[in-house]
Structure 1
Amino acid sequence: MIKGLRFLLPLILAVSAVGAERTDCGSIKSKLLPYPVGYCAVLPPGFAAHPEKKYPTLYFLHGLGGDQTFMVSSGAWNVVADGWERQSLGEFVVITPQAGRSFYINSKDGRARYEDFFIREFIPQMEKRYHLSATRAGRAIGGVSMGGYGALRFAFKYPQMFSVVAVHMPALLEQLPRGSANAGLSGYLGGAFGTPIDEAFWKANTPFVYARTAALQGMKIYVDCGDRDDFGFDAGTRALDKLLTKRKIAHTVHIYPGSHSAEYVAQHLDESMNFISRGLGLTR
């Protein structure tokens, strides 16, 4: 059962500065959403000097309460920058789009088609704007909490698009809570799954649905979660581990000591970034 409902708080790590020449934040207009969508891109050291190179990409999705500045305004940047400096990480572009409370899906009421926007508009525009690899082998996706939910769902629903997925404490629930807990959850989710939550719609959109049948052989999959996750997402992580194991899908799952917190992410972000670098074929 969910212990409180504060997983919507921003997952902000220690603040650090990023050189302006290594980041680019902007927005794009959408034909599928009624508002421009902000994003921030973190660029590797050699990016400006190699306009002819098609860079691999990590789409890193923020948690509920966060925004597109997650990587560039937090200590998460330090992990990537240090890896580049030590050459323990290969060079890839990291892009975080603004997602609000969308859970990265097309909303129940049809007003916010975020999934369609991300797949049909955002990725193609980013690939053109930043001369990125437009191949499955060149795309990774990751995220934290709500962003972990979104990353797993995108990876499992569109396995032809992504070769690597790596997430921390993903917002995975096998069952919705009942009674007052469900009512509170509905308010926090901001209507993405209906208000009150439409249970059938919610079930149809969970990453579990796609994990049961998708062609995931060959995809590199990494998931971790704290053993004292405040919202029970450790149980969801274990359930996903069991499902993938039953299907004989290769994957890496860790249940580490910790709660649903920024500190937990900070402790394990280096592991996921190295997993992504290896999964993209950039390092061993």
Structure 2
Amino acid sequence: MKSDQVPAYSVLPGQVSGEHTVMVTLPTGYDGAAATRYPVNYTLHGAPEYPDAPRNKAITEQATEGVPLITVTPNGSGRGWYSNWVNPGGLGRQNWETFHLDQLIPLVDANLKTVPGKEGRAVSGHSMGGFGAFHYAEHRPELFSYVGSFSGDLDLNPEIRAAVVGSALMPAYGTPTVAADAIFGSPVWPLDGVWNEQSPAQHVKALRGMGVAMYAGDGGHLTVDPVLAVAENRVRQTAVTTAANLTAEGIPYRFADYRDGSAWGKGCNGKHSQQACLQADMNDFVKLIMKRFARP
């Protein structure tokens, strides 16, 4: 699909700027002509990743096998950060939040047999997508009944700010690259107001009444795959901060803090962006949301 809110974007190899792939996984027996309607989980990919990456397909299909649930994975670019950018520059509008919430969701509801209200809609995501899921749920709580983060960047603290800026400047996250202040503006005080406003960990009040779930490992042995180990260790800390703030607000949540992953899922090693860990995360999240959703 195309969107006037993101008419062009930094592309990964094989992507065409301005063309947005949206992966839709339908439940077994889905019939567009029948009266049955299904709840939807919007799940947001990480960076840099494709919405229809083979592992995303596999994770979704395994977690939803035999489950009456539609899953929608939209394009978030290698560095979209599921936000309306402050200084997009020559790329033009990068209003990812407006694109997904005000254009994609109505399009899905108009063309698929969905339960078209918050009682039939969840949002989840991995890494950058975990940030996006909480960001979307906090900005538009009227749209979602459940939110989930799989090793998400939930606190825009100095470490995560460095990661966001790095994603803007590194060609591995898409070309052309963009300025360091393109997405959230300057990350340096006193010019960092947008960063503070968009940091999910500090704005959990908006999640009151919503189902909330977070998943993270501790990186396992830090000498094995040290980059992925440290990355997971640090995003876990953002979940710990978010959990503390949820507790302070009296908001119930599930935090699957699975440490080295050995007791969480077969093959899970507690490191960042590991398919086995993400599979266990999604399996658990699907079970949670289906307990709450209006069932078909």
Shorter-chain TM range is: 0.7 to 0.9
Structure 2 residue matching 1:265: 3-state secondary structure: helix
Residue 255 of structure 2 corresponds to residue 253 of structure 1: yes
Q: 1:179 to 1:143 in 2, by over 3 A?
A: closer
2:130 equivalent in structure 1:
148
Residue 230 of structure 2 corresponds to residue 230 of structure 1: yes
Q: Decide whether the 8 Å contact of 1:40 with 1:69 is kept in 2.
A: yes
TM (norm. structure 2) is 0.75
Identity %: 24
Structure 2 residue matching 1:166: 3-state secondary structure: strand
How far did residue 66 of structure 1 move? 1.3
Q: 1:70 to 1:181 in 2, by over 3 A?
A: closer
* From 163, 173, 180, the counterpart of 2:145: 163
Q: Distance in 2 between matches of 1:38 and 1:29?
A: 9
* From 63, 75, 82, the counterpart of 1:98: 75
Q: Distance in 1 between matches of 2:165 and 2:139?
A: 28
Partner amino acid, structure 2, of 1:42: T
1:133 equivalent in structure 2:
115
Structure 2 residue matching 1:115: 3-state secondary structure: helix
Q: Distance in 2 between matches of 1:178 and 1:66?
A: 18
How far did residue 169 of structure 1 move? 0.3
How far did residue 31 of structure 1 move? 2.5
How far did residue 103 of structure 1 move? 0.7
Q: 1:29 to 1:181 in 2, by over 3 A?
A: closer
Partner amino acid, structure 2, of 1:201: V
Unaligned runs of 5+ in 1: 1-27
Partner amino acid, structure 1, of 2:280: Q
Q: 1:237 to 1:196 in 2, by over 3 A?
A: closer
Q: Decide whether the 8 Å contact of 2:5 with 2:99 is kept in 1.
A: yes
Structure 2 residue matching 1:160: 3-state secondary structure: helix
Q: 1:158 to 1:49 in 2, by over 3 A?
A: closer
Q: Decide whether the 8 Å contact of 1:166 with 1:275 is kept in 2.
A: no
Q: Distance in 1 between matches of 2:109 and 2:41?
A: 11
Q: 1:174 to 1:105 in 2, by over 3 A?
A: closer
Q: Decide whether the 8 Å contact of 2:149 with 2:213 is kept in 1.
A: yes
How far did residue 118 of structure 1 move? 1.0
Q: Distance in 1 between matches of 2:162 and 2:152?
A: 23
1:15 equivalent in structure 2:
none
2:58 equivalent in structure 1:
75
Unaligned runs of 5+ in 2: 8-17, 220-228, 260-269
Partner amino acid, structure 1, of 2:209: G
Structure 1 residue matching 2:203: 3-state secondary structure: helix
Structure 1 residue matching 2:62: 3-state secondary structure: helix
Q: Decide whether the 8 Å contact of 1:41 with 1:94 is kept in 2.
A: yes
Deviations 1:82-137 (A, max 9, x none): 3x1xxxx4x01100000101110001215201111111111001111113221110
Deviations 1:142-194 (A, max 9, x none): 11111111001111221111001122101123521399878645525754234
Residue 49 of structure 2 corresponds to residue 66 of structure 1: yes
Q: 1:81 to 1:31 in 2, by over 3 A?
A: same
Q: Distance in 1 between matches of 2:285 and 2:199?
A: 22
Q: 1:36 to 1:235 in 2, by over 3 A?
A: same
Q: Decide whether the 8 Å contact of 1:186 with 1:196 is kept in 2.
A: no
